[in-house]
Amino acid sequence: MRAPARVVGRVRRAVAARVPPGPGVLVLGMHRSGTSAMTRLINLMGPATCSADDMVRGPWNPTGHWESRTLMHFDDGLLAQMGCTWWAPPPSGPAYAEWSANITTGPRAGRRVFAQVHTGRPWVWKDPRACLLLPYWRQALDRRSVAVVCVRNPLEVASSLEKRHGLAPSFGLALWERYNRLLVAHVGNMAVIVTRYDDLVSDAEAWTGRTRAFLEAAGFTLRPPATADGAGEFVDPDMRHSSRSDDDVAKLAPSSVASLFATMTELAGATSCFVPPDIEPEDPAVAEELATLGPLHPPAFRTPPTGSPSPGAAVPGADG
């Protein structure tokens, strides 16, 4: 005798709440670091994004941010429980555990929402806020999930944030440092590939090849390269909005930002078990800079200064 549909639905929802939604790929990186383009390129290899009707879209990334609106709002809620926002992140170092203890939404709830949004297996997901919430999501998601870490020149990120949100460059650099400190500290023991935005833009095909090799070594079954990639057509280097050198960072950025950027650059490559590097404690100036805005004062949102490409065009500068 077949069980009523409502009973089957309850059972499925209960299982989704208990069982992580299979292994997948977390794309991790600061806002405006190329995570959108990287997520799409991984999606072309086979791992599924959220459904199209849940996809975040906006004028700064007309072809899509390739992330879930539902999970973006969910992450905003988790941060709010910590007394934080994406522009007012939690502290790095030992104090993080104190703040994260204020999260009242348990990992089972996150697991359930994630499974409802990401129905394909394996999956790929990015939300820069996940850099601030990694301990939570590592409890909620399958422990076999892997991370693709995106590292972009902090001066370029700060410039992009200034254009998009009117944030002072000094604030953007402080935000870059806090996000990446938390990312590096909390991604330990995962299979990780650290990739540079510059490498993506200069040779998307090569970037795709290295990332494909990492995912296959981690046990993911992907589409054949001949039918899956098309990376060179998706990322257009000529549409990059800002370009600064590593030497510029050493000369112009605060020493703590320059040091962290150099460390993350040295980490480029794949490992089956990431070991967080030793990093000097955060300079108090970072917290002082971030406190100039605070969670109650959201930054502005500006429209792009130039015309937006039509749907289906290359990602503009792969900035997202």
Q: Which of 112, 128, 199, 196 is nearest to 161 (CA)?
A: 128
Question: What pLDDT band is residue 316 in, cutting at 50, 70 and 90?
Answer: very low
- Please confirm whether the linkage preceding 122 is cis (ω < 30° from 0): yes
Average pLDDT over residues 186-210: 95
pLDDT interval class at 11 (50, 70, 90): very low
Residue 229: per-residue pLDDT = 55
Residue 163: what pLDDT?
Answer: 92
At residue 238, the pLDDT reads 52
What is the arithmetic mean of pLDDT over 15-26?
72
Q: Is the pLDDT of residue 231 over 70?
A: no
Q: Is the pLDDT of residue 317 over 60?
A: no
Domain ranges (residues) in the chain: 24-294
**CB of 114 within 8 A of CB of 105?**
no
Token digits of residue 291: 């406190």
Question: pLDDT value at position 16?
Answer: 47
Percent of the chain with pLDDT over 70: 81
Number of Cβ within 10 Å of residue 170's Cβ equals: 14
Percentage of the chain modeled with pLDDT above 90: 74
Task: State the fold for domain 24-294.
Answer: Rossmann fold (3.40.50)
**Per-residue model confidence as pLDDT tens digits over 144-165:** 999 999 999 999 999 999 999 9
pLDDT of res. 146: 98
Residue 305: band (very low, low, confident or very high) from pLDDT cuts 50, 70, 90: low
Helices (H), the chain: 5-18, 35-45, 69-81, 95-100, 107-117, 134-140, 154-165, 169-186, 197-202, 204-217, 225-228, 231-234, 246-252, 255-266, 284-290
The pLDDT value recorded for residue 121 is 93
pLDDT tens sequence across 42-62: 999 999 999 889 998 765 555
CA distance 278 to 184: 10
Measured between alpha carbons, how far is 28 from 46 in angstroms, rounded to an integer? Answer: 18
**Is the confidence at residue 76, as pLDDT, over 50?**
yes
Q: How many CA atoms does the CB half-sphere of 317 hold within 13 Å? A: 19
d(CA 26, CA 130): 9
The answer, yes or no, to whether residue 313 has pLDDT greater than 60, is: no
Angle at 235 between CA 141 and CA 186, to 5 degrees: 30
Closest CA to 197 of 46, 51, 20, 320: 320
Of 83-97, 185-199, 216-230, the range with the lowest mean pLDDT is 216-230
Q: Which residue has the higher pLDDT, 96 or 5?
A: 96
**Residue range 259-283, pLDDT digits in tens:** 999 999 999 999 999 999 999 899 9
pLDDT in tens, 242-259: 678 999 999 999 999 999
Whole-number pLDDT of residue 315: 30
pLDDT at 237: 59
What's the pTM value of the predicted model, to 2 decimals?
A: 0.87
